[in-house]
Amino acid sequence: MENSGTSLAAHRNRMLDWAIEAAVMVGATFFIAFCARLYLRIPGTPVPLTVENLAVLVVGLALGSRRAFMALAVYLGVGALGLPVFYPLGPGGVLEFLSPTGGYLIAYPFVAGLTGYIFERGRPTFWRAAVAATCGELLLFAGGIAWLYVLTHSLEKAIGFGLYWFVFAEVIKILFAAGAVKSWRGLFPRE
């Protein structure tokens, strides 16, 4: 009798853990989708300045590599199905991946995973978070510029459209993400 009670309690704990993980994935998706709605169109580039990648960095730092990768995979999957989670003036759905922002989007799970991986490998200091976020941003812009190169067939145009306009804002995003996660770390329990 005692054995079946223990089994039932373990099953309930697994169900609760699963429900919490699902809630974290949904919450991260909503957070990123909300941040995608905060944008500034910049003349001279088809790539908007959004707060979306700040959210990707925060999710990576807060959730760790595996959970952040999964959260961003869920985000991209939901967006590919046509739910309005991407930049609101883009084509939406699967076509979003073929737009000028497609390379950035496809890189998001890897950016979040890399950022989380670096951050979880040592003491959770502001500087470790800033280094992790910087590495994530480098990967993000590599993916974005690579896709822009495919679309434009010019590295000069790809860098012009996808990098120069954003450097200052990205430094601010890195510092904000590192400071926010360092301050709010207790709100996001890790496995």
Domains of the chain: 2-187 (1.10.1760.20)
CA separation for the pair 117, 102 (Å, rounded): 23
pLDDT above 90 (res 122): no
For residue 10, the model assigns a pLDDT of 62
pLDDT above 50 (res 78): yes
Rounded average pLDDT over 114-134: 94
Burial of 80-106, coded b for 16+ CB within 10 Å and e otherwise, reads beeeebbbeebebeeebbebbbbbbbb
Percent of the chain with pLDDT over 90: 76
For residue 138, the model assigns a pLDDT of 98
Rounded average pLDDT over 137-143: 98
Q: Which of 60, 94, 74 has its CA nearest to residue 30?
A: 74
Flag the least confident range among 3-7, 55-59, 139-143, 187-191.
187-191
For residue 69, the model assigns a pLDDT of 97
For residue 187, the model assigns a pLDDT of 56
pTM above 0.85, yes or no: yes
Flag the least confident range among 9-18, 57-66, 78-87, 111-120.
9-18
C-alpha to C-alpha distances, 72 to 2, 15, 81, 132, 155, nearest whole angstrom? 41, 22, 14, 17, 28
Which tokens in the block code for residue 140? Answer: 């993000």
Q: Which 8-state DSSP code applies to residue 94?
A: G
pLDDT class of 186 with cuts at 50, 70, 90: low
87-114 pLDDT, tens per residue?
998 898 999 999 999 999 999 999 999 9
CA separation for the pair 160, 29 (Å, rounded): 30
